[in-house]
A and B are shown apart, each in its own frame.
Chain A
Amino acid sequence: MTIVAEFSVGYRQILDPNGRLVGPLPGFAEDVAEVVKMYEAMTRVRAFDSKAINLQRTGQLGTYPPSLGHEATHVGVGAAMDVKDVLAPVYREYGTQLWRGVTMTEILMYWGGDERGSDFAVPRHDFAWCVPIATQTLHAAGAAMAFKIRREPRCAVAYIGDGGTSEGCFYEALNLAGARTLPVVFVIVNNGWAISVPVAAQTATRTLAQKAVAAGIPGLQVDGNDVLAVRAAVSEALATARSGGGPCLIEALTYRLSDHTTADDASRYRTQAEVKEAWTLEPLLRLREYLLRANAWDDARERALLKDCAFEVDAAVHDYLATAKPSCDAMFDHLFATPPAHLDAQRATAHRYATKPGGP
């Protein structure tokens, strides 16, 4: 038999779990202030996440999918993207969204059951959260097609989870992106678990990155708990895509330290030992070690940052809780550009029977 094609999948790590450099420092990280900025963003989203869980537990927020443990992947992707690029998120990539200008209040409004949370003040061009699994990957490919047709130097970035890679949409998006050389980067956040199903039960492949091979596009793995590696890999993929070099699939290896959502109880299907082990690899720890060693961080700055984060989160929670329930008109507004006449009568009925304004 003649071998007609061979493939390999690379793995990238720059900071090891102890915060030591194991690879060349990327250009953006030569300015330590930029690394500090990413550490601050990771701390900020973790503070937000913890408060959001607390709000849900106290009946002030709906079901909420936490991002605990994913901070390096989410912030790394956000920092690699240009403001003009388009993000097609799943539903827990708050670190990327906050970096891009989505507010904590908007995130809380969405999970608090209010459509206005998806009407981002900034960035206007990003997609909103996407609950139907994997469907967003095709939207990103379509947006990339628009950029390509108009010859705009913009890219789309689509997130997907490890579980989502089992969906047909995911393969269709990879195939389309490869076949049309689209400026799109797909980021698989492999956090080990699709609710209760581990990756090994999802697929027989050794890596998820190799799913790119069948689509004829490059695929690589990065340490998803290493913000430097994530940002470097995504930056390079975006630069290639932006200059007409086509798409890329990046698998970020991380771990879902929380339950799937606040409605889930992960202790039913995974061991405490596994979670404890994952905590030793978590992303903030190693970056803090790195910054301490570089004399770019200290306890006083850490305390000040935590205080600032708490202040910002509290202000966002205050704004969220102070937002009055929308009028029942919101059910009919924005359904069509020009509402059909028959909805007027239904709108009137809704008004007649509306629940009390300002309620939960």
Chain B
Amino acid sequence: MAHAWEMQHDDSVVVIGQDVGANGGVFRATAGLQARFGPDRVQDTPLAEATIAGMSVGMATHGLKPVAEIQFMGFIYPALDQIVNHMTRMRYRTRGRLTCPVVIRTPHGGGIHAPEHHSESTETLLCHIPGMRVVCPSSPARAYGLLLAAIRDPDPVMFLEPVRLYRALRQEVIDDGRALPLDRCFILREGTQVTLVSWGAMTLETLRAAAELETQGIDAEVIDLATLSPIDADTILASVAKTGRLVIVHEAARNVGVGAEIAAIVAEHGLYDLQAPIRRVTGFDTIMPLFRLEHDYIPSVTRIVDAVRLTFAD
């Protein structure tokens, strides 16, 4: 829907990727676009991720706004050379002469019994790259508004789409062309005693944990990080100043995860607001297992609740 709105209103927007045309994308995210906007503006690429990223650089530096799909996050690695060495530094190294307004959309995370290499959440690798925003919506409405913002942004945006949300959440979305802000967190639930920060599909478990905590007398605030890089430190610090406790929840592995960056920000700028040590509830520092064990890997509501309770036990 966001694709269609922006294609209708901006002739420079083109959609490229594997199976995005007649097939409408393996997750149906581009369904109907080729029939409506034609094969020039909605193009199946050859099966090559370096091609998709590299041609996006060429198209974007010459007047187009590619919205490219990498079919699964596990397939993004051949594209990284182009993303790291060209897409994200084009503006910088040409001193603003050439720019790369590219959106790369790719599925994120597990939980849908998908095959190997289809369920990883490796956003940390992407967040470490300077010159690119990394965005991860937590609902269909937020996906609509943030994707519009990403397409309108003059710089590269990596847009991670949680696969569990493709299936789990149905929501009426108003197709009014209104973008949501990038670089901003969203407060999904206001609370006073503990701040829970999460993003993507993990916001579902985090909100459930907050509801469970309420029955135990703990009033939790839930923040959807939404833009993973750069991090909206102000919103998080203001929340921690109010609650005095911070628990970060993410599906990705713990080691050098985005949660560590959030913890560092709060340690640097909000340490004296804390009444308890910061806690992280994350995936493990191992490979995302094949699906029989994926729910042993993805943090559960109970794990989140227990971690929050520990911040009250100290």
Contact = CB atoms under 8 A, between A and B. Distances in A.
B300 A353 contact: yes
A302 interface: no
A110 interface: yes
A183 to B, nearest CB: 27
A231 B293 CA distance: 40
Contact of B289 (A263, A268, A330, A342): A330
A247 interface: no
Given A166-B51, A346-B285, A353-B302, A325 B44 contact: no
B287 A330 contact: no
Contacts of A179: none
Nearest to B50: A168
B94 interface: no
Interface in A83-113: 110-113
Interface in B14-31: 18-19, 21-24, 26
Contact of A350 (B290, B291, B296): B296
Given A132-B77, A166-B47, A112 B292 contact: yes
B290 A335 contact: no
Contacts of B78: 167-169
B23 A111 contact: no
Given A166-B51, A167-B78, A331 B293 contact: yes
A354 interface: yes
Given A133-B47, A346-B284, A326 B22 contact: no
B116 A129 contact: yes
A268 B21 CA distance: 11
Given A197-B47, A268-B24, A133 B292 contact: no
Contact of B114 (A63, A163, A164, A332): A63
Contacts of B48: 166-168
A123 interface: no
Contacts of A355: 295-296
- Residues of B contacting A: mostly: loop
Interface string A302-344: 0000000000000000000000011010111001000000110
B116 A328 contact: no
Contact of A196 (B22, B286, B287, B303): B22
B47 A163 contact: yes
Interface string B109-124: 0000111111000000
Interface in A142-197: 163-164, 166-169, 194-197
B296 A331 contact: yes
Contacts of B116: 110, 129, 131
A203 B46 contact: yes
Given A63-B115, A115-B290, A167-B49, 4 more contacts: A131-B115, A197-B46, A343-B285, A360-B292
Q: Which 9 A-B pairs have the closest CB atoms?
A: A113-B291, A196-B23, A166-B46, A163-B47, A113-B292, A328-B296, A113-B290, A269-B22, A166-B48
Interface of A: 62-63, 110-115, 129, 131-133, 163-164, 166-169, 194-197, 201-203, 263-264, 268-269, 325-326, 328, 330-332, 335, 342-343, 346, 349-350, 353-355, 360
25 contacts: A62-B291, A63-B114, A113-B113, A113-B290, A114-B290, A115-B289, A131-B116, A132-B74, A133-B47, A166-B48, A166-B51, A167-B48, A168-B48, A168-B50, A197-B46, A268-B23, A325-B292, A326-B292, A328-B293, A328-B296, A331-B284, A331-B293, A343-B286, A353-B296, A354-B296
